[in-house]
Structure formats: structure tokens, C-alpha cells
Homo-oligomer: A and B are copies of this chain.
Amino acid sequence: MTTSPSVIVFDVNETLSDMSPMAGRFTDVGAPAHLAKQWFASLLRDGFALTAVGASRPFAEIGADALRTVLQGIDLDRDLDEAVDHVLAGFGSLPVHPDVPDGIRALRDEGRRLVTLTNGSTAVSERLLTSAGVRDRFEALLSVEDAGIWKPARGAYEYAARTCGTEPADMLLVAVHPWDIDGAARAGLRTAWIDRAGTPYPQAFTPPTIRATGLTDLVPQLA
């Protein structure tokens, strides 16, 4: 990159948080563990369907809706409402990935401004980063709830740029999700795709500016 971005915008779910414990929330209520991934894909599918028509609903509401559909017909060990509450509560106690604390500290030590931008709630980001001991490295935790539209719509990234008092071109979006990389690139941001698992990058989406295997691997690529 010719000039280095001054503001780094992090996606939260799966990019900073390790969502694998969500599978245990499904087995807790008597449902198969593999439903966790189907549910999360369904949640985003439905959220993006609304984004495509210019509408927006809270992440937790879409998540509860999608969960009721995914759990339909499963012989749960408790009431459906209780099962939905138990699974959704899992968002509140996820750990960060092992590379996150060191990566965040190193990027902040370089003098970069760090923010988050999530399709979820800021409360979840707040708990996640506080428990990981790096909350104080972020100058703001942003949610699309204040943008009025979810990522990957352009308006969500523009909201983040406006809030940070900068231009999209001076921001770097860091995410594990190709749809987020694609949306940010179309909105004029530079992008870093975090690929911890060696997954192929989908051909249909705009490729990232940078590829890294974790946040600590991202740091030297930005120097």
C-alpha cells in the first residue's frame, strides 16, 4: 500500500470473537452442534435480505427469528423460548481468538486509531473486548444500529468514516467475511482479509488489499 491507513475498522463476530463455543449452546438445549453454523449463515442471509431492500432490524431479533426456524422440529430439552434465550446469551461470553490481544496492542502501539463496526450490538463488542483486556485500545465501538443499515451496504461504512471524522480511503476494514471485504472495498476502504483456516476466497467478491492469517500476521504487512 502506498500510504498506510490511519483508522483500522474491525468487524467483531468471528473476526475478533471465536464463535466455536456457540455449538455447545446448541447441544446444551438438545440440538445438534452442527446447527450453529447453519443458524449463523441463516441469520446473515435474512439480515442481508432486509439490507437489499433498504430495511434494517436488530441483529438479536433476526438471530432469534432464524433460530426458531432452524430449531423447528428438533426435540429440545426445554421450552423453545428458553432454548432461544440460552443460545443467544452465548454471544455474551465468547472469547477472542488467540492472536487478537497481541495484534490489537501492536497496532495501537504504532499509533493507529482502532474502532469496531459490527452488525451486532455494541454491548456484545464491549463485553468481548473488556474481557480480553484490550477495550482501552479502541477509541470507539460502533454498530450498524446507529447507521440504519447493515454491512455490506455502503451506508454502514460511510457511517463509520463520518463518525471517525475521516474518509473511507483513509480506513482499513479488517474482517474474516468475504462479503464484508467486498462491501468495504466498494465503499472505498482498503481491506484486510483474516483467514485463520486456509479457506479459498470466493471469486464473486472483490479481493482484499491484504491477506493475513491473524492479527499478529497483519501488523508487519501494514508497516
Contacts and interface: CB of A to CB of B under 8 A. Distances in A.
Interface of A: 32, 34-35, 37-38, 41-42, 44-46, 48-53, 55, 57, 61-62, 65-66, 68-69, 72-73, 150, 152-154, 178-179, 182-183, 186, 197-200, 202-205
A52 B46 contact: no
Contacts of A73: 197-198
How many copies, total?
Answer: 2
Q: A34, A41, A205 — which one has the most chain B CB atoms within 10 A of its CB?
A: A41
B38 A204 contact: no
The dominant DSSP class at the A interface is helix
B46 A183 contact: no
A66 B179 contact: no
Contacts of A198: 72-73
B182 A50 contact: yes
Nearest to A177: B49
Nearest to A149: B52
Contact of A204 (B42, B65, B202): B65
A198 to B, nearest CB: 7
A185 to B, nearest CB: 10
Contact of A202 (B34, B65, B152, B186): B65
